Structure 1
Amino acid sequence: MGLAERRKALGYSQEALAGLLGVDRTTVGRWESGRIEPQPPQRRGLAKALEVSLQELDALLTQPRAKGPEPTRQSGDHASGGDPDDMIRREFLRILTVSGALMALAVEEAEAFTDGLLTGTPAVFEQMNSHLWQVYQLARSKGSVYPVIRDQLTALNEALAAGRVRYQALLSVSADLFQLAGEVAFDGNRYTDAAASYSLAAAVSREAGAYDLWACALVRHAYLDMSEQRYRQATQVLSAAERLAGRGDHELATRHWVASVQAEAYAGLGDLTACERALDQAEEVTHLTMNGTTGGWLRFDGTRLAEERGARYVQLGRLDLAETTLQTALGQTALSSGPSYRRRSAVLASLAAVGAKRRDPDQVLVYGREAVTLARASNSGYVARRLQALCEEFGPLSRDHRVAELGAEIATLSTPLREG
């Protein structure tokens, strides 16, 4: 039995299954035809909808696929399932070739940003990158920043082709922008785009000799491994990032951010001692004077360490420690300046997870409902993933109709695969 047969056996149409999973009907068609594979967050939801285990789902996906015409592309259907062939058809590769270097990013063709920017100096590009990171940080919907990033890349490409920017000066600017493009793709669950962007950022940073940029690109790559629960692989990537950060600028917080993410990987492996040691190293960021500047690609300043520590304790099952720490973090999000929908909803999801592990439906509902409201306001794929992970903790609580209704609300959250 293949994927399509299992769907039909349960009485789902492609449209019904797509609606349940928050994807386009054409995405379901591509899964069934074998043109693309579901991304990790989609696999969990798909397995649940088809009432099979993840192992059984893998078997369904490897069965011979039904042949038929490719589904008609709908307007705005941007790489819904992370289909690399589709991205290539959308001008996946933009090539910059100077002095034998090859650099590319998965973006569509776009018009030049402005005539003034095209004739600008590297400092102008750096200033624009810094502005884009600020916009990204404050934006409710991270995908809304992508078109401007795309235009900035086009401007860089055309300025380079015209010989208006020195190659060496361009490298760090490009590595910076590749990381931002990767962040937007990752938040929208476009893992193939994100991996391509982070790999390019690492390669360009290496050529520029920019160790901090290079380390940060590896850290962001490690998040891709952890999103698939490949924690041991993540620790290997982070170990390399740690060594690079050690060669970087010690006025920057790079090495402390590496330690913070290492704590998450260690928690995933169930190693409390290593996790707490890494968190302690991360907290040393408070001793920095923060004289170094990055323009936005390194934003770690320790203000989120309480929520990070709380989330790690949830991973490790240390619920009392988790709740105390998360309550402190929740108060900090209320005091933070500017919109903090994504940050606050992540803390709320962690507190709801504590309630689920304690089998306390009221705690799940109080925090879970507010997190869902904020997830809708932010349209963040990251928050949607956190809430989908919460559903996996419900267990017997799912028999409570209120918790079941919350789970149904979470299922309707779309992880924005078509951003940009």
Structure 2
Amino acid sequence: MTSEDEHPNMREPAFGGHSMAVRRTGLAHARKAAGFTQESFAEAMCVDRSAVARWETGAREPLPHQRAKLARLLKVDMDVLDKLLSPADATPTSAVQRWCAPVSADDDEQDALELVRRINASDVGDETLTRLEAAVDELAIAYPTTPPNVLLGRVRQYLGYVGRLLDARKTLAEHQRLLVVGGWLSLLGATVHIDLNQESAAAARLKTAASLALHTGHDEIRAWVYETEAWHALTDGHHAKALELAQTAKSIAPAGGSIAIQAVAQEGRAFARLGQRREAYAAIQEVQHLAAPLTRPDQPEHHYRYDPDKAVAYTATTLAWVGDPAAEGYVREIIRRLGGGNDPAKWPRRVASANIDLSLALLVNGRLDEACGHTLQAITSGRVVPSNHWRAAEVLRAVEARGLPEAVELREAYEEMCRQ
């Protein structure tokens, strides 16, 4: 069989869906300027020479994860690379040679996905989908320890890849699985947007996740969408709306799953913010009952997997919000389980949140100086995301109202955090 490079009519269309390829002369010039032949460049990129040829003829474009390595080999930055890959392809070689900023290499996850896709008869294939499903889990596990802007970039890359695969040939079962992957990625993306106070983007991602969940009949994702909206409403101070959304999530959630427990926990926190103590305590008891049979999973960091430590953490927060002195014991227990808070590298966000909850409990117990110290520790850790600034602000207002001398330092740290 003759190769695709020898027969232009057999070339695959570009991912963008354009049937007319536009030759990227600048890309070829940049490769030569960097000292590569097509063969040596293909070897450096871990692809076939025909793939390099198709990039330069405009018949195909590199996958998102390949672009960082491509830029590094060509000694250009990402903006110049985008121009080299654009249809206009107007960047001269001299301009390419001036851009020498180092670019860190990305991992080869999507490279492996593309290889599997091409090997299988289907344009998508079971192995590709299995790897994408594993990538969803990896991103959810990375959520508590990865800076939001970094995680969001990775989520966007995978969503872009899923979007292109939706145009590929596939079976109905593969299409269904791909939509589910897109639903989880959209949900996680929305969560990160909420963390960054990016309201419009969060709403759009949640709408997409809800739509994909409806298309696939995936009640777990649907319930997580409502739970995420409930948390968003809580952070915005819309406590009654948060309660309604949490209860909707509770009604949709499949029995026995993580979201069934999380929806109750979110309901309890909404009750606490509304001052409905009896209902908040009932929710705490229900969470403890549902979480009791659970064992600690191998990857408790997973954002969408409930575990006993999360049950303790949500109990601590709810008790702190209703002003119960018993919150202190729960918070100290969760900090102990997370490594004492001395090395928060593994659980940075949960340790930071626990320190703020501990501060609220200490305020109730009249230990204002300790409350200041723990809030300051949370703020200066750099792990309090923008959507949680209000939690630190609650402690700050309380200590300022009582005229505590330490409030001055706490105010300065808080304002510095908000400026970053």
Distance in 1 between the 2:259 and 2:277 partners? Answer: 23
Q: Secondary structure at the match of 2:197?
A: coil
Distance in 2 between the 1:287 and 1:360 partners? Answer: 36
Which of residues 124, 128, 138 is equivalent to 2:135?
128
Which of residues 167, 173, 182 is equivalent to 1:161?
167
Which of residues 303, 313, 321 is equivalent to 1:315?
321
Distance in 2 between the 1:207 and 1:295 partners? Answer: 29
The one-letter code matched in structure 2 to 1:156 is: V
**Unmatched tracts of structure 1, length 5 or more:** 1-111
Distance in 1 between the 2:308 and 2:262 partners? Answer: 8
**Alignment partner of 1:193 is 2:197:** no
Q: Secondary structure at the match of 1:334?
A: coil
Number of the residue aligned with 1:410:
414
Q: Do the aligned partners of residues 200 and 401 (structure 1) sit closer, same or farther apart at CA in structure 2, a change above 3 Å counting?
A: same
Number of the residue aligned with 1:367:
374
Q: Do the aligned partners of residues 278 and 335 (structure 1) sit closer, same or farther apart at CA in structure 2, a change above 3 Å counting?
A: same
**Unmatched tracts of structure 2, length 5 or more:** 1-107, 118-123
The one-letter code matched in structure 2 to 1:228 is: D
Number of the residue aligned with 1:98:
none
Cα deviation per residue 1:312-349 (whole Å; 9 max; x = unaligned)? 2222122x222222222222222699611211111111
The one-letter code matched in structure 2 to 1:370 is: Q
Task: Using the TM superposition, give the Cα deviation of residue 286 of structure 1 relative to its aligned residue in structure 2, in angstroms.
Answer: 2.4
Which of residues 142, 150, 169 is equivalent to 2:156?
150
**Equivalent residue runs for 1:8-407 within 5 Å:** 114-118=110-114, 119=117, 120=124, 121-139=128-146, 141-164=147-170, 166-245=174-253, 248=254, 250-283=255-288, 284-288=290-294, 296=302, 298-318=304-324, 320-334=325-339, 339-357=346-364, 360-374=367-381, 376=382, 378=383, 380-397=385-402, 399-407=403-411
Task: Using the TM superposition, give the Cα deviation of residue 405 of structure 1 relative to its aligned residue in structure 2, in angstroms.
Answer: 1.6
Task: Using the TM superposition, give the Cα deviation of residue 113 of structure 1 relative to its aligned residue in structure 2, in angstroms.
Answer: 8.1
Task: Using the TM superposition, give the Cα deviation of residue 296 of structure 1 relative to its aligned residue in structure 2, in angstroms.
Answer: 4.5
**Structure number with higher relative contact order (C-alpha < 8 Å, ≥ 6 residues apart):** 1
Task: Using the TM superposition, give the Cα deviation of residue 164 of structure 1 relative to its aligned residue in structure 2, in angstroms.
Answer: 4.6
Number of the residue aligned with 1:70:
none
CA contact (8 A) 1:345 1:383 kept: no
Distance in 2 between the 1:113 and 1:192 partners? Answer: 30
Distance in 1 between the 2:303 and 2:332 partners? Answer: 28
TM-score normalised by structure 2 residue count: 0.64
CA contact (8 A) 1:195 1:224 kept: no
Distance in 2 between the 1:325 and 1:114 partners? Answer: 42
Task: Using the TM superposition, give the Cα deviation of residue 392 of structure 1 relative to its aligned residue in structure 2, in angstroms.
Answer: 2.5
Stretch deviating more after TM superposition (160-169 or 189-198): 160-169
Q: Alignment length, in residue pairs?
A: 297
CA contact (8 A) 1:314 1:354 kept: yes
Cα deviation per residue 1:174-227 (whole Å; 9 max; x = unaligned)? 111011101211111112222221222122112211111111111001111111
Number of the residue aligned with 1:57:
none
Task: Using the TM superposition, give the Cα deviation of residue 170 of structure 1 relative to its aligned residue in structure 2, in angstroms.
Answer: 1.6
Distance in 1 between the 2:273 and 2:315 partners? Answer: 13
Q: What fraction of aligned residue pairs are identical, expressed as a percent? A: 17
Q: Secondary structure at the match of 1:362?
A: helix
- The alignment's C-alpha RMSD in Å is 2.9
CA contact (8 A) 1:388 1:411 kept: no
Task: Using the TM superposition, give the Cα deviation of residue 415 of structure 1 relative to its aligned residue in structure 2, in angstroms.
Answer: 7.2
Task: Using the TM superposition, give the Cα deviation of residue 382 of structure 1 relative to its aligned residue in structure 2, in angstroms.
Answer: 4.3
The structure 1 segments of at least 4 consecutive aligned residues displaced by more than 6 Å after TM superposition are: none
CA contact (8 A) 2:352 2:378 kept: yes
Task: Using the TM superposition, give the Cα deviation of residue 274 of structure 1 relative to its aligned residue in structure 2, in angstroms.
Answer: 1.0
Number of the residue aligned with 1:3:
none
Q: Do the aligned partners of residues 176 and 309 (structure 1) sit closer, same or farther apart at CA in structure 2, a change above 3 Å counting?
A: same
